[in-house]
Amino acid sequence: MEISSRTDRGLLRYETNLSPGLNVIAAPNSFGKSTLLQGVIYALGLEGMFSSSRKPPFGPALLTVADLPDGTRSPVRESWVSLTIANEQGAHMRCKRFVRGDGVDASLVMTWKAGSRGELDEASRVDMFVRQPGAAFRELGFHRELAEFLGWDLPVVPGFNAAEVSLYLEALFPLFYVEQKSGWSGVAPRMPTYLGIRDVLRRSVEYVLGLSALERLTALAAVKSEEDDVKKRWQSASDRLGEAAKSLNCRVFLHQENPVTPARRQHCVIEVMEEEAWIPLERQIGVWRQRLGELEQDGIEPAGEHTHQAREDLAAAETSVREVGGRIRLIDEQLNLSRTDSDALATRSASLDIERNRLADLRKLRSLGSTLGITSVSNDVCPTCGQLLDGRETATGIAADLEQTIAEIEAERETVRAATQSAERRRATLERNRSSLQAALHGAMRQARALRDELAGPSAVPSRAQVQQQILLASSIERAQRLLDLADEADEYFDELSRRWQDVRDRLADLRDGTLSRTDQQIVSRMNSSFQAQVQDYGLRSVPPSDLSINESALIPVNDGVELTFDLSMGISASDMIRTKWAYYLSLFEAAISSPRNRHARLLMLDEPRQQETDRRSLAAFVKRLERAAGSGCQVIYATSEDRRDLEEVLYNVEVAMLPANGSHLLAPVTG
């Protein structure tokens, strides 16, 4: 790794090789050791795990002015970070990113890839971008390349502002790095929320542990999307069929407006109103065809020969106009009454809601020990008849108590709701009947006009009424048959959708089973066992270590079902909070590497892990556990400002690589 800053007085640099095991950098606070850890994160474009800000997470030495060993300062002209990483397959990638550069934006990442470290110098450079839209999935997006290099296939998870979002790398690396300023402020990792990921910590831990719960969540989202698609398709087909039937003044009967399973499917029936009843359209088509056949067989008579019949037909048509018009007026009156009833029911429902809430408040007050009367929350009126209740006696001598009154109001609310739904259905039926009668009225009026014109016109011309009736019958038969054909096609489509609906509902039922798989339970159990063993070894004193556990659902440390936080009133000390944080990060690693689908980065970076003056014996036990993790393939970077003599006691008999920390500053002049 290399961190460089070019000043007017020359080049300053810090360069080190990080071993695969436990690396410790021990230096005073003024040294800038945090810059080493921040440099790793910055080179990988992951500073978004701290903040949505695009400001580089560095101090003046890389941004504005650098301190030199002779005590002077010099302006910074350019600065950059270069990092070489390797994956489990042995491939290497070098990343170089400018912190401050002349004409080079901080979003640019220069990359080199090769099969081995020695081949990197001869590899071709590929420029990519980071902290820009598309960096996680575009071809030249660096985080897409980094995830692929690590062998991670980042899933899509539920989000807040969108249906689904990617599980970004910035949401995963807080599980591998604890920074000094705010990283130790709680037990659970500090996660970025601006990424818009719902339950971001849980989703990230599930991914790192390789739990199938995350795959189940992804599958559930896909099935829900398929469920919505079936609903939309069903509703769209229903609307098309309904509009087509409405255009011919028909109605669709025995049809479910929402998706149902095949066992509940009923094939729809198209009905048309004739006289005062709804009859199947197929039967009416037969009547129309019979009439049309009779007209075609008899032929069109001259108007003069049809006069007597025309007068009778005119009288019948005028009678039909009067009768149908009267039925429409009756339906209009019924519609007005229905609307009035609906308004009254809505008013009554609102008053019942108010009275129910008042009585519920009174019940709550009484349960709390209040002896106030109903006047404090109610108008002292009967919720049924509205009469005042001041001293009124009942005929039976028995008055309903509070619970009985609430129960009666609830029953009446249910009755009002049922009556409201019934009124709405009746109004819809009346409106549909009125539409059909309106069409019949227009037909009768057209026939009456044609007959009047025929009686007033020349007697030698063909009967206009018969011609019009023949054309109308032929047109009605053709349009009705098209509607029936459309209904048949719709039935086939609904049958297909109902089978899909059954399949979707079955899969949803399986996926919504909240229990973890047996493998997932074993992984979480290992994490929990490791966590409890560690807090025991670290000397947790505030609560019995056995009382703490990893919640199987939220995947965070809990105490008696409550998220573990620093709280003196609950007896959790600040130093014990640090112990549980140590245990959480290491138990996550230990459980992850035991998982068949381990996705841990095998990296732990800890900046000043000894917080709150934690006991050194606890720290020594923690370092021993870190050594064990390093032996399992985890690269640990431990940064501290502790006194070297105190640190040597903690590191006694621990295999560790000490990183260079010479002088008072991280960056030193490059000589030669």
Quick: pLDDT tens for 317-341: 778 778 778 888 888 888 888 888 8
Three-class SS state of 559: strand
Residue ranges of alpha helices (H) inside 368-401 are: none
- The H or E element spanning position 12 is strand 10-15
Q: Cα–Cα distance between 24 and 659 in angstroms, integer?
A: 6
Confidence of residue 463 (pLDDT cuts 50, 70, 90): low
User: What is the percent of the chain where pLDDT is above 90?
Assistant: 36
Between 7 and 467, name the one with better pLDDT. 7
Q: What is the pLDDT of residues 395-421, one digit of tens each?
A: 555 556 778 888 888 888 899 888 888
Q: What is the pLDDT of residues 7-22, one digit of tens each?
A: 998 999 999 999 889 9
Residue in 2, 43, 1 with CA at minimum distance from that of residue 128: 43
Are 605 and 40 in contact, with CB atoms under 8 Å apart? Answer: yes
pLDDT at 80: 95
pLDDT at 41: 95
Q: What is the pLDDT of residues 277-321, one digit of tens each?
A: 888 888 888 888 888 887 777 666 565 555 666 677 778 777 877
Ranked by mean pLDDT, which of 334-343, 434-443, 564-573 comes out on top? 334-343
CA of 620: how far to CAs of 483, 545, 579, 623, in Å?
83, 18, 12, 5
Strands (DSSP E) contained in 88-129 are: 92-100, 108-114, 125-129
pLDDT at 430: 80
- The H or E element spanning position 436 is helix 402-456
Are 43 and 37 in contact, with CB atoms under 8 Å apart? Answer: no
Burial class (CB in 10 A: 0-12, 13-18, 19+), 597: middle
Q: Cα–Cα distance between 222 and 245 in angstroms, integer?
A: 35
Q: Cα–Cα distance between 670 and 672 in angstroms, integer?
A: 7
Q: What is the pLDDT of residues 588-617, one digit of tens each?
A: 999 999 999 999 999 999 999 988 778 889
Residue in 511, 670, 672, 661 with CA at minimum distance from that of residue 34: 661
Q: Is the pLDDT of residue 385 over 60?
A: no
What mean pLDDT comes out for the span 435-440? 73
Across the strands, what pairs with 23? 637, 657
User: What is the percent of the chain where pLDDT is above 70?
Assistant: 88
CA of 671: how far to CAs of 1, 9, 76, 120, 668, in Å?
18, 12, 18, 25, 9
Q: Cα–Cα distance between 298 and 314 in angstroms, integer?
A: 20
Q: What is the pLDDT of residues 224-268, one digit of tens each?
A: 888 999 999 999 998 888 888 887 888 888 678 889 999 998 888
What mean pLDDT comes out for the span 528-544? 91
pLDDT at 327: 80
Q: What is the pLDDT of residues 62-76, one digit of tens each?
A: 999 998 888 899 999
pLDDT at 376: 41
Q: What is the pLDDT of residues 267-284, one digit of tens each?
A: 888 888 877 788 888 888
Confidence of residue 82 (pLDDT cuts 50, 70, 90): very high
What mean pLDDT comes out for the span 120-129? 93
Token digits of residue 140? 């030249």
Are 209 and 595 in contact, with CB atoms under 8 Å apart? Answer: yes
Residue ranges of alpha helices (H) inside 254-401 are: 281-298, 307-367
Q: What is the pLDDT of residues 19-72, one digit of tens each?
A: 889 999 998 887 888 999 999 999 999 999 988 888 888 989 999 999 888 889
- The H or E element spanning position 39 is helix 34-43
Residue in 99, 98, 97 with CA at minimum distance from that of residue 56: 99
pLDDT at 375: 46
Residue ranges of alpha helices (H) inside 210-306 are: 212-247, 281-298
pLDDT at 214: 78
Between 517 and 465, name the one with better pLDDT. 517
Query: In the sheet that 277-280 helps form, which strands lie side by side, from edge to edge?
Result: 250-253, 269-274, 277-280
Mean pLDDT of the chain: 84
Question: What is the number of residues in the chain?
Answer: 672
The DSSP-derived string for 446-512 is HHHHHHHHHHHS-SSSB-HHHHHHHHHHHHHHHHHHHHHHHHHHHHHHHHHHHHHHHHHHHHHHHHT
